């Protein structure tokens, strides 16, 4: 068990959450190797995916909620009283839910790369080819990645409670979680899966409305990435209802802003910085907020632009075509509308944070993080 | 919340577990409908799959473990003391893990039917076609079923702890689970996923050894279907170590017998009774225990039989071909060897049960159930 000190600032959360995940894998991977060496190797793929993965946005928001709750003058310490190590562990568990979401999403989207590396199903397919196994390699890759995602989801729940598939707990004696924390965790997982399903249905049913795109953002991103993590951490600390309301509102606004930025980066981003091919969302026919706003504007102003936007969906675009889509979205004013919306959401979130009953340190950190989220380049 | 009385005999467990699952869905489905009506419909598919599903083998073994533990003269009541309603709920949660396992397994195996009905991915594909949606219907079916299985797995953990995605818990105030119960749950899920992965690797790598087939049975079936459920229930009741050892041994033997019977039904079973096409395992190239034993015997005795068995793998068989495979497995003595092994396993399980320190009622029920498991026809 790592004895690293608990984070005192949000910038320390990614490393601290990573250390918790390392501890979990140190205990868990030997169990998988004992089942069979090949199972150990597959589990290592899941562990690597998590270890190398991402910016730890959800654990950071989770821990921010914890620090907000702790600093609230009106907090009601939960029974049993939760420790900082419990809170950090719960936050780290969010990364395992995210690993499942991404591994399965990449299968669903037929994505080849993620964060500049091969996606998990492609990795297993390549392994199948290298080993000269029989049958269809891509098919095997999908099968293995379905199970790998399931494993990550099961492990997320293990880590949430501080348990492992070995007889050893992650922490020496994890306290049972308050029921309200489990309820938030439960709601969050159903919401993100519901949002993902709605997303694929919007895609195939050709639902182009701005309302539908925002509904997906609300559940697939805003609740899952920001609002629920903030609430999870805050409830670990016994935050009062007023603060929970503040954090839900901030979480919603920042979550939508986060996703709208993602939509913008998907079309206008630099693949060298984002780690994924630009135009991917278009190629996959994703019904993003940006696209919905673009189509609504085009239908109102410019039928030719509407036709060319729709024609660009659902297949890989050459550099020239992508440049034309970018130009169309700019000319229609869609890009500017999204930027305005991001600024508005950031503004309301910051105002709400300015008035929340929390310590100045965590307030300043959250406001800075909000700005980075809304204006990030990857 | 259902107020049905707790089961006092194992035959009452399927209905009682079903009632708990109904309660869970009554609380949970409105949450999914609130996300969006289409999400509600997809969740209804998951709920129907669980409601209509199976023989509730795992909850029944789980509750048997609980009754064994309760009846043990040496039991150490866990702190907090668990109630029968908590135990039943934990047992019912096993059906949601199983729903995920089957939904994802059916994707992996490209199965069209399950229990005489369309598999979940085929159901979603059909819905795609009926709705006239764009894109590939089968592809959409797989995507939706991946998410449906994930939802079942997330719900399994919710129900385990007595939580729901709504603010309401399943039971009025679920007690926190003893850490040892969570540890068993955790081990069980990693084991079944490990076993499933090993199964698909054995298939594509052409691993034909009896040892490998038994290793898959051990983790994918024996631990998951019998041994861990028994242990889970027993630990809920604070069973002593000696009884836990007895149940682990019984669970292992009955679990392997259960799977060997499954292997036999897969080749020799009546599709009208089993609900799935006979010869499915062969068509999928599954490396079952029966097949491994058949191949080992063929390699030793009859090279022509070995060639014809191998030639029958991995594609759909006509009635004549299937009849020949059956004949070959009988002539080689493989079918008889499997039957002998089932009888031996049943014998050791019954002897161990006869000597366990448990009440006569549950002992008699478990012994009867063991016989039914080993000699079932579906």
Task: Please spell the DSSP secondary structure of B301-329, one letter per residue.
Answer: H-HHHHHHHHHTTTSPPPHHHHHHHHHHH
Whether A244 and A234 have beta carbons less than 8 Å apart is answered as: yes
Q: Is the pLDDT of residue A303 over 70?
A: yes
Q: What are the chain A neighbours of B169 within 8 Å (beta carbons)?
A: 179, 183
**pLDDT of amino acid B228:** 98
What fold characterizes domain B10-374? Farnesyl Diphosphate Synthase (1.10.600)
B128, B146, B197 ranked by CB distance to A107: nearest: B146
Task: Give the helix/strand (H/E) hosting A16.
Answer: helix A13-35
Q: How confident is the model at residue A86 (pLDDT cuts 50, 70, 90)?
A: very high
Which residues between 164 and 223 in chain A have a beta carbon less than 8 angstroms from any beta carbon of chain B? 164-167, 169, 173-174, 176-177, 179, 182-183, 185-187, 189-191, 193-198, 200-201, 203-206, 215, 219
Q: In 3D, which of B207, B215, B339, B218 has the Cα closest to residue B267?
A: B339
Q: Is the pLDDT of residue A148 over 60?
A: yes
Residue A236 sits at the vertex; the CA angle it makes with B163 and A73, to the nearest 5 degrees, is 135
* A10 vs A88: CA distance, rounded Å: 11
**pLDDT of amino acid A70:** 96
* A207 vs A129: CA distance, rounded Å: 39
* A331 vs B224: CA distance, rounded Å: 59
B298 touches chain A (CB under 8 A): no
Distance separating the N- and C-terminal Cα atoms of chain B:
33
Q: How confident is the model at residue B116 (pLDDT cuts 50, 70, 90)?
A: confident
Per-residue pLDDT tens over the stretch B127-142: 999 999 999 999 999 9
Provide the 10 A C-beta neighbour count for residue B68: 29
Whether B189 and A165 have beta carbons less than 8 Å apart is answered as: yes
Which residues between 304 and 333 in chain A have a beta carbon less than 8 angstroms from any beta carbon of chain B? 314
Say if strands B113-114 and A117-118 run parallel, antiparallel, or are unpaired.
Answer: unpaired
Whether A75 and A239 have beta carbons less than 8 Å apart is answered as: yes
Q: In 3D, which of A164, A233, A143, A157 has the Cα closest to residue A189?
A: A157
pTM here is 0.96
Closest Cα in chain B to A43: B194
Q: Is the pLDDT of residue A172 over 70?
A: no
What are phi and psi for residue B80, nearest 5 degrees? -70, 150
Backbone torsion region of residue B53, taken as left when φ is above 0, otherwise alpha when ψ lies between -120 and 50, otherwise beta: beta
Whether B291 and B213 have beta carbons less than 8 Å apart is answered as: yes
B107, B146, B197 ranked by CB distance to A144: nearest: B197
> Which residues neighbour B15 within 8 Å (Cβ) at sequence distance 6 or greater?
B4
Higher pLDDT, B168 or A355: A355
* A302 vs A299: CA distance, rounded Å: 6
* B32 vs B77: CA distance, rounded Å: 38
Higher pLDDT, B247 or A314: B247
Q: Is the pLDDT of residue A295 over 70?
A: yes
> Percent of chain B beyond pLDDT 70?
98
Provide the 10 A C-beta neighbour count for residue B271: 14
Provide the 10 A C-beta neighbour count for residue B14: 18
Q: Is the pLDDT of residue B312 over 60?
A: yes
Distance from CA of B50 to the nearest CA of A (A): 17
* B59 vs B71: CA distance, rounded Å: 18
Q: How confident is the model at residue B352 (pLDDT cuts 50, 70, 90)?
A: very high
Q: Is the pLDDT of residue B275 over 80?
A: no
Task: Please spell the DSSP secondary structure of A161-230, one letter per residue.
Answer: HT--SSSS-SSSSPPPPPHHHHHHHHHHHHHHHHHHHHHHHHHHHT---HHHHHHHIIIIIIIIIIIHHH
- Alpha-helical (H) ranges within chain B are 13-35, 37-51, 57-71, 84-108, 120-131, 137-161, 179-205, 210-216, 228-236, 241-268, 271-274, 280-283, 289-301, 303-311, 319-331, 334-355, 360-374
**pLDDT of amino acid B151:** 98
Mean of all residue pLDDT scores within chain A: 94
* B107 vs B267: CA distance, rounded Å: 21
Per-residue pLDDT tens over the stretch A3-16: 568 999 999 999 99
Closest Cα in chain B to A166: B187
B143, B157, B196 ranked by CB distance to A157: nearest: B157
Among all chains, which residue has been given the structure tokens 């913008």? A264
Q: How confident is the model at residue B334 (pLDDT cuts 50, 70, 90)?
A: very high
Per-residue pLDDT tens over the stretch B84-99: 999 999 999 999 999 9
Among all chains, which residue has been given the structure tokens 């805050």? A234
**pLDDT of amino acid B135:** 92
Q: What is the largest CA-CA distance in chain B?
A: 65
Q: Which whole number is the average pLDDT over A196-206?
A: 94
Here the tokens at position A53 are 């993965």
Q: Is the pLDDT of residue B276 over 80?
A: no
**pLDDT of amino acid A2:** 53
Q: Which whole number is the average pLDDT over B329-340?
A: 97
Helix (H, G, I), strand (E, B) or coil at B135: coil
Q: What are the chain A neighbours of B183 within 8 Å (beta carbons)?
A: 163-165, 167, 169
Task: Give the helix/strand (H/E) hosting B117.
Answer: strand B117-118
Whether B181 and B62 have beta carbons less than 8 Å apart is answered as: no
Here the tokens at position B2 are 């259902």
Higher pLDDT, A286 or A2: A286
> Percent of chain A beyond pLDDT 90?
84
Helix (H, G, I), strand (E, B) or coil at A248: helix
**pLDDT of amino acid B295:** 96
What ipTM was assigned to the predicted interfaces of this complex?
0.96
Here the tokens at position A128 are 């199948």
The answer to whether A198 contacts B35, with C-beta atoms less than 8 Å apart, is yes
Q: Is the pLDDT of residue B211 over 80?
A: yes
Whether B212 and B202 have beta carbons less than 8 Å apart is answered as: yes
Q: How confident is the model at residue B171 (pLDDT cuts 50, 70, 90)?
A: low
């Amino acid at each position: 068990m790592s004895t690293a000190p608990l984070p005192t600032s949000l910038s320390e959360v990614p490393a601290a959450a990573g250390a918790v995940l390392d501890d979990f894998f140190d205990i868990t991977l030997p169990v998988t190797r004992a089942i069979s060496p090949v199972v150990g190797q597959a589990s290592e793929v899941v562990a690597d995916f998590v270890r190398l993965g991402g910016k730890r946005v959800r654990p950071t928001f989770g821990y921010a909620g914890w620090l907000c709750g702790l600093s609230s003058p009106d907090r009601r310490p939960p029974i049993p009283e939760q420790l900082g190590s419990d809170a950090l562990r719960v936050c780290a568990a969010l990364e395992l839910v995210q690993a499942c979401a991404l591994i399965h999403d990449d299968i669903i989207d037929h994505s080849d790369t993620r964060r500049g590396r091969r996606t998990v199903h492609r990795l297993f397919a390549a392994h199948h080819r290298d080993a000269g196994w029989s049958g269809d390699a891509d098919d095997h890759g999908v099968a293995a990645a379905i199970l790998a995602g399931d494993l990550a989801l099961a492990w997320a729940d293990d880590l949430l409670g501080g348990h492992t598939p070995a007889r050893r707990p992650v922490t020496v004696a994890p306290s049972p979680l308050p029921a309200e924390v489990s309820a938030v965790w439960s709601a969050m997982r159903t919401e993100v899966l519901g949002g993902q399903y709605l997303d694929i249905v919007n895609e195939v049913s050709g639902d182009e409305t701005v309302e539908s795109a925002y509904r997906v953002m609300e559940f697939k991103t805003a609740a899952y990435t920001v609002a629920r993590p903030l609430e999870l951490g805050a409830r670990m600390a016994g935050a009062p209802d007023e603060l929970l309301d503040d954090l839900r509102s901030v979480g919603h606004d920042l979550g939508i802003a986060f996703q709208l930025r993602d939509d913008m980066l998907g079309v206008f981003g630099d693949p060298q910085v984002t780690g994924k091919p630009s135009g991917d969302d278009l190629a996959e026919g994703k019904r993003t907020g940006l696209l919905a706003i673009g189509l609504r504007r085009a239908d109102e102003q410019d039928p030719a632009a509407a036709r060319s936007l729709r024609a660009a969906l659902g297949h890989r675009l050459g550099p020239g075509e992508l440049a034309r889509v970018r130009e169309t979205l700019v000319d229609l004013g869609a890009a500017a509308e999204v930027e305005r919306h991001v600024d508005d959401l950031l503004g309301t979130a910051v105002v709400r944070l300015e008035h929340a009953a929390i310590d100045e340190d965590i307030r300043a950190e959250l406001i800075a993080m909000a700005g980075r989220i809304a204006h990030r380049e990857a």
